[in-house]
Amino acid sequence: MAELDPVIHAEARLRVVAALTTLGEGNQISFPRLRKLLDMTAGNLSTHLRKLEDAEYVQQTKVIEGRMPATYVEITAKGRSAFLDYRRSLQSLLDGAQPTPNLPTRT
């Protein structure tokens, strides 16, 4: 049976990685824009980004724009590869799932 990456498998982190994968390679998204896109609180998103960053799946860049700090997030090559592996594993798992005939059902 295919193994699903536990770092990505948590729903919130799966949403983050899926969203970041849609960006072109090397492109970044601002933290507030990603937060709004995913409809997550800043604290929740930060927690999940930290786990993804610890696994080297995402990279955060902190800069000063004018006089204000700004954070940009991007998926790394390792993260993109891990997400593709996750998708293949999930697809393999789903392809192997066959309905079991003749099992009693509740009505």
Confirm whether 106 is domain-assigned. Answer: no
> What's the confidence (pLDDT) of residue 24?
86
Confirm whether 100 is domain-assigned. Answer: no
Q: What is the mean pLDDT of residues 7-27?
A: 95
Confirm whether 23 is domain-assigned. Answer: yes
Confirm whether 72 is domain-assigned. Answer: yes
Range of the domain at 79: 6-95
Confirm whether 102 is domain-assigned. Answer: no
C-alpha atoms less than 13 angstroms from C-alpha of 4 in its C-beta half-sphere: 13
- CATH code for the domain in which residue 84 is found: 1.10.10.10
Q: Is the pLDDT of residue 41 over 90?
A: yes
Q: Is the pLDDT of residue 99 over 90?
A: no
Instruction: Quick: pLDDT tens for 50-70.
Output: 999 999 999 999 999 999 999
